A and B are shown apart, each in its own frame.
Chain A
């Protein structure tokens, strides 16, 4: 009974979440609109818009026609540095979690064998 009620609450929460999201999406500018804030020449604070600036200046600044690479490694190099550190941290966490556990189980197995003897 209690599980049933919890299930109803969960599903209704999901539906309310979907309704809220769709309501929020009605306020977005349509896809591909050149007049939406992300695609304008000037941002809301009257500074040059980042994306448009990158498109105009990427080749002149970095001599690489691929703007994504230019942004990734040059304009936003700090960002990529952080992401790469996150990847290294994830790898090291996997290493530490699983390798240390293996040594432990080996020791416990040895102990079990000794105890049996």
Chain B
């Protein structure tokens, strides 16, 4: 990334705001059962907080927070969590992605609730990592030209 002149006000405000955006993203993921929210929205918020740091500071600081090479492995891990939840239901004798067979709680509806939470975590992780990695890839070449 091109080294822009680092405006101290912009970097300070970005440093202050970014953790709150990240916290709000986590809230949106984990509170998705009870209020508007879920994995896709929360993952996008997490990606926004990481990209904000990359835009406001030098690219080196952004790499310290979330290295670019982590993007694809974390995204694959998110998708694997999703597939793993489905396969776990298969393992305990049900159908693929039928959370009623996951031995996480007594009641069927609570089991489905836990299954939804697991899936949302996977979706949020994948969306965050993939969006950040697309951003990194698009800006990759700038310092070589």
Residues on A lying within 8 angstroms of B by beta carbon are 60-66, 68-70, 72-74, 77-78, 80-81, 84-85, 87-88, 90-92, 94-95, 97-99, 101-102, 105-106
Main secondary structure of the interface of B (DSSP, over half): helix
Q: Decide: B33 and A66 in contact? CB cutoff 8 A.
A: yes
Residues on A with beta carbons closer than 8 Å to the beta carbon of B127 = 84, 87
Residues on B lying within 8 angstroms of A by beta carbon are 32-40, 71-72, 75-76, 78-79, 82-83, 86, 97, 99, 107, 109-110, 112-113, 115-116, 119-120, 122-123, 126-127, 129-130, 133-134, 137-138, 140-141, 144
In this complex, what residue of B is CB-closest to A65? B34
A74: contacting residue among B36, B37, B116, CB under 8 A: B116
Q: Decide: A69 and B38 in contact? CB cutoff 8 A.
A: yes
Q: List 20 A-B residue pairs with CB atoms under 8 Å apart, sorted by A's residue number.
A: A62-B109, A63-B33, A63-B110, A63-B112, A65-B34, A66-B34, A68-B36, A69-B116, A73-B38, A74-B116, A77-B119, A81-B83, A84-B78, A87-B127, A90-B134, A95-B133, A98-B140, A98-B141, A102-B141, A105-B144
